Each structure stands twice: as C-alpha cells, then as structure tokens.
Structure 1
C-alpha cells in the first residue's frame, strides 16, 4: 500500500525541496588521512548489515500495543480523559503514539541520509568523504527498516514534525561545509540516540528492540565521526565563528526540546490543542525523556569546543548543563555491547532450535526404522508358521 494512504494527516506535497547552498569539493590527495577517521571508516565497512536478514521480520507485533510501554508513559494516564477511555480507545492511543514516534524516526533517517550525502559532497578531506559514504548507506538502511515497520506492523504514518523539518531545513540550507555535521551528527543524531535508547531499554517487544538496538550500533559510530571531524576543525575557528555555531546549537536544542511533545496525537483524540500541550508538558515520562535526550548532545557539544557563556546559560535554562560531564565513550560502548549481546542471544536460540529439529528428525527416523524392523520380523514369523502348516 502506498505510504500516502497510511498517513494520519495529509502530508501535503509528495516531497520537500530544500534549496541547497555551498560548493562540491574534490581532493586529489588519496594517500593521506587521519588514522582515527580511517579506522572509523574501516569499522563502518565491516559493520554493514542487511535489514532484510538481520532483523527477524517474522516476529508478530500487536499494532495496538507495538512497544509494550507501561500505561504510565501516556500523558493521559491518571486524568479523567484516561478514565473515560475504553480499552479499544487506549489501544488506538498506543498505536498512534508509536506511529508518531517511529514516523519521526523515519523522516529523521531520511534527513540523515541526505545530510550524509551532502557531507560527502562538501567536506574537503577525503578520509571524511570515505566515512560519510558508509554513513549514507547506514541511513538508507535505517529509513528502509523504519518504513517497513510502520507499513507492515503498525499500518499508520504521521507527517514530519514541524520543528524537525525546520532544523533539517536550517542544516541543509547553510553553505558552510561543517553545518551538516553540526546539525545532523551532533544534534539530530544525538536526539535519535537518546530517543532510541529510552525505547530500547523500556520495550519488552522483541522486534522493535532488535530494530532500535541495531540502529543505535550504527548511530554511535556516526556521532563519533562528527566529534572527530568537528573537534579538529573548530580548533581553527575564531571566537566569532564559534559563537555563530553556538547560536545554531542553542536554537536547534530548543527546537528539539519542543518537538518531543507529540500533542498532535492527543488532538487527534479530540482534545483542544492547549489542553494537549498542557498535559504533554506535565507528563513525568516527557520530563525524563527530555533529560535523557540531552545526555547525548550536551557532552558532545562540549567535547567539540562549543562551550561559550551564552550556550552554557541556555543549558542552565533547559536544566541540562551538568550533562556536559557525561561520558559519551561509555554510552557508545554500551550501545555496541547491547547490540552484540542481542545478536549472541538470537544466534544461540536459533542454534538450539536447529539442534532440536535435528534431534526430532533423528528420533523420527529411528522410530520409522524400528517400525520397519518390527514389520519385517512379524512377516518372517508369519512365513515360518505357514511353512509349518
């Protein structure tokens, strides 16, 4: 079924055209590069995987409880609205929220794919072009699997959130080659890692857990790439140039913080928009989610050298300044470990299932052979009795 037929709201034009600025840059030096980036490029090649094969798409998903999240995560829980809802309505609400979240993941991954392609085009260094080429493939795979999950397992799609679209547009329209790094690798990928991680750790449903864990394994490399490239470049910039990037980060962080409400889902259930915003803002789940959201962004921003006074004041206002001391390397190592453990568990289960099938086949074969021997013995006895008669 065409995606347009699955949208909860009319997405408008069938596509979105962003006027792009900036130059395509070629490098004729093919034998030099930063060891760290080339090592990451080699890892990017080694870690390529096929969403068709690595994901077990045969796993069932209840579209009315696709993530298995506790009822307490709903902003309506504990309100008169929740008390008046039937079980069917609550299931529809869970379906819509999951569709909204995964739709934003889907649109964000397409944006990441386009930004990675822009980095290949505009970054001056060949080692960065090499890695960005592997990331473009990663993002294509992520868009593929999120799209498939929405089409086949939930059957509902939401248009791109206005704030996410605004941040993508600002990132792509800027002519400076480092801005796709900053907008995508630091802000949007940082947001994605936090959102994926929270759902990965809460959901008890095996299919979305697989999808989120494997995507996070890729995204951790992408953030590491952005950190390496921008840290090197920003050491060369003037205070005024750094201030411009910090303003971009401040605006982007406020946009992302505000886009997380998802009040459109509540308005779809008949709530006035002001009421939907209020209930979303008062949600304890949203408060925790926002805190975790910046756990990936703030330390990365500090690490690459954007830590001016105005940026710090903005993070104080958001209540996330202390996250600047968090260890990104530890978080990314955990992402890698969780994906590898999930693989090991799945392979062990598949191996056990194969051994069980072999044992059953052997037992069945032995039984058939025993039956054949018994029949042959009975036939011999019958023949002997006939001869005696």
Structure 2
C-alpha cells in the first residue's frame, strides 16, 4: 500500500525540490586528518547496524496507545472538548499525536540524510567527508525504521510540519558549506535528540523504546561530529561572520520551538486554529517538554563558539539560557550506554528463554519415555542406551 494512502492529509507536492547552491569540493590529501574525527569515523563504521534485524518487529503495538501517553500530556486534557470525549475518541487522539510526532521524526531523518550527503559534497576536508558518508547511511537507516513503524504499527502519517520544512529549506539553500552542519547537526538533530530521549525515557512500550534508543546511539556521534567540525572552523571567522550564523540559530530556534505544538492534530479533531494555539500554550506538559527540547541545542551552540549578546538574549526570552551549562558529553555518553544496556537486557532474556525452551523440550521427552505410553519404544530406547 502506498504511503499516500496513510497520510491524514496528502502532501502539497509529491516531490519537494529545493534549489541547491554552493560548490562540490575535492581534497587531494588522502593521508592526513584530525585524529579525533578519524576516530569518530572508525566508530561510525564499527557501529553500523541493520534495522530489520536489531529491532524486534514482532512486538505488538496498540495503534491507539502506541507510546503509553498519559492523559495529562495531551493538549486537550482538562478542556471542554476532553470532557465530551469517549475512551475511543481519546485512543484516536493518542494515535494521531504519535503519528504526528513520528512523522516529523521520519521527515527530519530524510532531511538529515540529504544534509549529510550535502556535507560529503561540500566540506573541504577529507576526514569530514569520510565521517559524513557513514552518517548518510545512519540517516537512511533511521528513515527506514521510522517509516516502518508508522506504516506497520500505527498505520497513519502526517505531512512535514511547515516550520520544520522551512528550516530544512533554509539550511539546504545556503551556499556556505558549514550551514548544513549548523542547521542539521546542531539545531534539527539537537532538538530531535531531546524529543527522542524524552519519549524513550517515559514510554513503557518496548518497540518504540528500542527504536529510539538505537537511533539515539547514532545521533550522539552525529552531534559530536558537528561540534568538532564547527568549533574548529568558527575559531577562524570574523565577528561579522559569527553574527550571521548566530542570526540563523536564533531564527531556527524560534521556528523549532513553535514546531513542537502539534496544532495539525487538534485541527484534524475540529478545533479551530486559534483555540488550538491557546490550548497548547496553556499546557504545563508542553512548557516542560519545550524547555527540555533545548537541553541539547543550547550547550552545543555555546560550545562551538556562537554565544553573542543577541543570541544570549534570545535564549533568555525562550527561558532556556541556563541550559548552556549542561554537560553535553555526559548526555551523549548516557545515550550510548542506554542502547548497549538495552541490547544486553534483550539478548540475555532471549538466551534465557532459549535455555528454558530446550530444558522444557528435554523434560517433555523424558516424561513421555518414563510414562510407558509406548513400551516398544521404551524398550528400544533402553536397548539403544545400553
């Protein structure tokens, strides 16, 4: 069945064409590179995985409660509309919200794949090209698993959000080679990581937890890559060039903050746009979620050297300025360790189940022999044993 059969509303155009600008850059230095970046490239090669095999797709998912979302996390909770909703209606709302969230993850991963490919083309250093090539594969895998989850487990997709599409377009249209790093590696990937992490850490559903944990393990490397490359490059820029990039970050952060409201879902439930905006802005859960979403972006922006007065004021306005002191390295380490821990738990449980199954089969065979149901067989068995 075509993806178009699953969309709540069909996309405005079947193929979104973004005019490309800039240069493809070749490097003829094949025997030199930054040790940190080459080590990250090696890690990227070592950590490749197959989404069809590592994830247990046999796990059942209730499409009307795919994430175990509590009532309080839904923007309509406590409103006059909520009071009129049946349990079936609430299940439909959960399905739509999960579909909207994972659809934006899916579209963002395709954008990340295109941006990583653009970095391979435009970055001047070969070590960065090497790593970006592994990231392009990572992003393809992420798009694959999110798409499969939406098609097979939820059965519904939403088109790309306007704000996400706007930021992607601005990132890809810019001719400067560092902008796909800044727009994708820092802003979009940073926000996605925080959203993934919040769902990963709160859901009690094993399949989405697996998907998010394994994707986040890859994304930790991607953000580290962006930090390394941009920190080195931005040390060389003039104050005017840095201000240009800070303006891009400010605009992108406001776009991303507004992106997370999910107004499309409420509008699909017949809520007028203005009323839907009021409900989302009044949601305590959304305010907390919105702040946590910047936990990966703000320290990264500060780390790469974009911390001018105007940018700091914007973060004060958003209520996220203090996140600049967060320990980004610790967060990334935890992302990697959680994925490894999940693997150990899963495969230990599978091995225990296999051992129990073998023991049960042995016990069943032993029981049938001693029961005397087939004397001839018992005799034959005894003779063979002697």
TM-score normalised per structure 1: 0.96
Question: Once the two structures are superposed, what CA deviation does each residue of 1:304-354 show, in whole Å capped at 9, x if it has no partner?
Answer: 000001000111111111110000000001111111111011011100110
Trace 1:182-221 onto structure 2 (pairs within 5 A).
Answer: 182-221=182-221
**Could you say which residue in structure 2 is the equivalent of 1:77?**
77
Alignment of 1:339-378 (within 5 A): 339-371=339-371, 375-376=375-376
Deviation (angstroms), 1:369: 3.1
Match in the other structure for 1:161? 161
User: Mind listing any 5+ residue stretches in structure 1 that lack a counterpart?
Assistant: 381-389
Aligned to 2:268: 268
Contact 2:369–2:378 at 8 Å: present in 1 too?
A: no
Distance 1:155 1:257 in 2: 27
CA RMSD after TM alignment: 1.4
Q: Which runs of 4+ in 1 moved over 6 A?
A: 377-380
Cα distance in 1 between the residues matched to 2:107 and 2:151: 14
* Pairing 1:302–2:302 present: yes
- The Cα shift of 1:255 comes to 0.2
Q: Note the residue ranges of structure 2 that are not aligned, 5 or more in a row.
A: 381-386
SS in 1 for 2:294: helix
Shift of 1:196: 0.2
- Go from structure 1 to structure 2 and tell me whether the alpha carbon gap of 1:378 and 1:187 turns closer, same or farther (over 3 Å shift): closer
Which deviations, in whole Å up to 9, do the C-alpha atoms of 1:12-62 show, x marking residues without a partner?
211100000010011111100000000000000000000000000000000
* Rounded Cα–Cα distance in structure 2 between residues aligned with 1:374 and 1:58: 39
Q: Encode CA deviations 1:125-178: one digit per residue, 9 max, x unaligned.
A: 000000000000000000000000000000000000000000000000000000
Number of paired residues?
380
- Measured against aligned partners, the alpha-carbon deviations of 1:222-263 in whole angstroms (never above 9, x if no partner) come to 000000000000000000000000000000000000111101
What residue number does 2:133 align with?
133
State the distance in 2 between where 1:371 and 1:119 align.
Answer: 70
Match of 1:147 in 2: 147
1:270-285 → structure 2 map (5 Å cutoff)? 270-285=270-285
Q: Does the C-alpha gap of structure 1 residues 24 and 377 become closer, same or farther in structure 2, counting only changes over 3 Å?
A: closer
Pairwise CA distance, 1:376: 4.0
User: Which one has the largest radius of gyration?
Assistant: 1
Tell me which residue corresponds to 1:103: 103
2:29 matched residue in structure 1: 29
CA distance in 2, matches of 1:379, 1:288: 73
Instruction: Write the distance in 2 (CA, Å) between the matches of 1:374 and 1:22.
Output: 81
Q: State how 1:41-56 maps to structure 2 within 5 Å.
A: 41-56=41-56
Give the Cα separation in 1 of the matches to 2:283 and 2:213. Answer: 26
- Following superposition, the deviation at residue 69 of structure 1 comes to 1.2
Q: How big is the shift at 1:372?
A: 5.9
Deviations 1:45-100 (A, max 9, x none): 00000000000000000000000011110011111211100111100000000000
Change (3 A) 1:224 1:371: same
The separation in 2 between residues aligned to 1:166 and 1:363, in whole angstroms, is 63
2:175 aligned counterpart, secondary structure:
coil
* Partners of 2:235 and 2:305 within 8 A in 1: yes
1:25 match: secondary structure: coil
Provide the rounded CA distance (Å) in 1 between the counterparts of 2:319 and 2:376.
Answer: 84
CA distance in 1, matches of 2:363, 2:183: 60
Aligned in 2, Cα 1:376/1:227: closer, same or farther, shift over 3 Å?
Answer: same
- Match of 2:141, SS state, is helix
Query: C-alpha distance in 1, partners of 2:374/2:290?
Result: 72
